[in-house]
Amino acid sequence: MDGIKKGTGIQSLQIGLSIVELVASQGRPMTFTDICEMTQITKSNLYKYLNTLTNMGILYRDKFGGLYTLGNKLIEYGMAAVSQENVLERVEPYLYEINRECKETVLLSFWTPNGPIVVKLLTSNHILNIGAQIGTYLPIYSATGKVYAAFKNCVQIHEWKEKELQEIPGEQRQDLEKELDRIKKERISFAIEPLVPSVSSVAVPILNFKQELLCVITLVGFSDSLDFQVDNEKIKYLLDSSQEISSIFGSTNVNKE
């Protein structure tokens, strides 16, 4: 390591990482042509870079549309960096169970300095555009974002909340602040069509023994299939699952009578 000079580097690695940074910064799936035009890399070389990155799981290429997004491996690296891989390992089996029982799309998200990010997505049997994918940052007015705003307590969350609330009209902002109080008490959040029309969501927190937020599980489906009543079968199942998973990390249901 001492023999490495400052300022030296491997150009091909730098180019590969610049492609990953480009895909991450766009916040949307990208075509080969998009990437080619924005990087000015020759088509023959770009094919090699993209094939390598997708084979490693750093990028993901949709086999139907050929669009490129961030891959699972990159998310795994990020979670390992913040010591959250053990949380994913413990929570993941429950995600499949919730997906199977509720027959709706299930998301798992973690907190980052830039806001909550989707790290796991299990689709339903429905053909459904939920407006999110692995690597998507979710806004404060989404069901997921509301849970983070209600439970998360750190410097970054306050900065994120302030920035996100600036984008919301004053009256709606006041309503949201009141809603956050209810969410913290009831441990469940709802959002009617926050990202795309006809698609709504419900989210629950996963807490540890200190009642600190570890991650959020979100159920996403067509608005007419998600009845936002706490006695609804799917909602009750999600709440029970949230409590059971949280208990693994030492949390108790402080609101339980």
Over residues 113-151, the pLDDT tens digits come to 889 999 999 987 665 667 778 888 999 999 999 999 999
What pLDDT sits at residue 193? 81
Domain ranges of the chain: 11-70, 83-248
CB 91 within 8 A of CB 206: yes
Q: Among residues 194, 117, 113, 189, which one has the least CA distance to residue 158?
A: 113
Share of the chain above pLDDT 90, in %: 48
What pLDDT sits at residue 126? 65
Please state which CATH number belongs to domain 83-248: 3.30.450.40
What pLDDT sits at residue 127? 57
What pLDDT sits at residue 84? 56
pLDDT by residue (tens digit) across 218-256? 999 887 777 666 668 888 999 999 999 999 888 876 544
CB 78 within 8 A of CB 91: no
Residue partners of 6: CB distance under 8 A and separation at least 6: none
pLDDT by residue (tens digit) across 54-98? 999 899 998 888 999 988 787 667 655 555 558 888 899 999 999
Residue partners of 92: CB distance under 8 A and separation at least 6: 108, 120
For the domain made up of 11-70, give the CATH fold: Arc Repressor Mutant, subunit A (1.10.10)
Rg (C-alpha) for the chain, rounded Å, is: 20
Number of Cβ within 10 Å of residue 98's Cβ equals: 24
pLDDT > 80? residue 156: no
First to last CA, the chain: 59
Give the DSSP H/E element, type plus range, for residue 201: strand 199-207
Residue partners of 4: CB distance under 8 A and separation at least 6: none
